[in-house]
Every structure is written in C-alpha cells, then in structure tokens.
C-alpha cells in the first residue's frame, strides 16, 4: 500500500521530530520516517504502547556530572573538561529521547520507536482503537 493511499484515509496525522509523520487510520497505525519506506502496524497486532517521558533522573545526574566537572577544572583542567563534556553529551541524548513512543506488535522482534511532536494528540487519536486490545504503559 502506498503512503498516498494511507493519507486519503487518515483520521489523524501528526509530525515526528525527525521530519516524518505518523498517522492513524480506522484499521492501522502508519509511520513514515523522513527518508524511509512507510511502516504500517495493524491495530489488532499491537500488544502494548509505551510512552517514555523525559528521564529526570538522568537529567539530574548529567547536570551533577557537569557541576562536578566545573568544580574540578581548577584542580585538573583535562579531567574537569572531560566531565563537563560527558555530562553535556548525556544531557543532549537524554533530552533527545524525551516523549519516546515504543509500539510492540505480535510477531515483531523489534519495537517501532517514534518521537512525535505532540504525544497527547497521538494518544488521543489512538485511544479508541487500542483500548480493548492493547494497553498504554507509561514508564518513568
């Protein structure tokens, strides 16, 4: 099935942070990443949908690492800068993974991972379809 055929039946279409889009039709979830082929998941195949918000523990640990690096700079410049860089990279990666949505489906070994711009709108569009067969799991 082509992406244009899916777009004709969309009940919801939202943007992904990486440049693609996610759509909901009456019978499936459609995900089109920027330079890839469309991925379709039938609603009766979905087992669970995990919504992972910002991991505040990692944010605090990353900021502590940056703080320790700044505190260490007068004693050892290279080590202090290294801790600051490691904390900054950890903070960047953690922030980039905020509001990650992972969809696990029957017969698939890998989860479908998407980063929607508006998680609540996607959740509202999916609720009527996944309520009976699959469950939302919010992990923190």
* Cα-Cα-Cα-Cα dihedral sign, residues 10, 12, 13, 16: negative
Question: What span, in angstroms and rounded, lies between the C-alpha atoms of 72 and 83?
Answer: 9
pLDDT greater than 60 at residue 134: no
* pTM metric for this prediction: 0.77
Give me the pLDDT at residue 2, please.
55
Q: What does the H/E/C string look like for the chain? A: CCHHHHHHCCCEEEEECCCCEEEECCCEEEEECCCCCCEEEEHHHEEEEEEECCCHHHHHHHHHHHHHHHHHCCCCHHHHHHHHHHHHHHHHHHHHCCCEEEEEECCCCCCEEECECCHHHHHHHHHHHHCCCCEEEECC
User: pLDDT tens digits for 42-78?
Assistant: 888 888 888 889 999 999 999 999 999 999 999 999 9
Give me the pLDDT at residue 139, please.
46
Give me the pLDDT at residue 7, please.
64
User: pLDDT tens digits for 104-123?
Assistant: 888 777 888 999 999 889 88
pLDDT-derived band of residue 4, with 50, 70 and 90 as boundaries?
Answer: low
């Amino acid at each position: 099935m082509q992406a244009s055929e899916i777009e004709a039946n969309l009940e919801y279409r939202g943007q992904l942070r990486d440049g693609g889009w996610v759509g909901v039709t009456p019978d499936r979830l459609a995900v089109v990443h920027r330079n890839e082929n469309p991925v379709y998941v039938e609603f009766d195949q979905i087992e669970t949908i995990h919504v992972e918000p910002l991991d505040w523990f990692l944010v605090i640990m990353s900021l502590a690492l940056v703080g320790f690096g700044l505190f260490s700079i007068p004693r050892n410049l290279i080590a202090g800068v290294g801790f600051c860089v490691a904390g900054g990279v950890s903070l960047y990666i953690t922030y980039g993974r905020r509001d990650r949505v992972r969809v696990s489906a029957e017969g698939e070994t890998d989860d479908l991972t998407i980063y929607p711009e508006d998680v609540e709108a996607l959740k509202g569009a999916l609720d009527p379809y996944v309520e009976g067969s699959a469950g939302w799991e919010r992990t923190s």
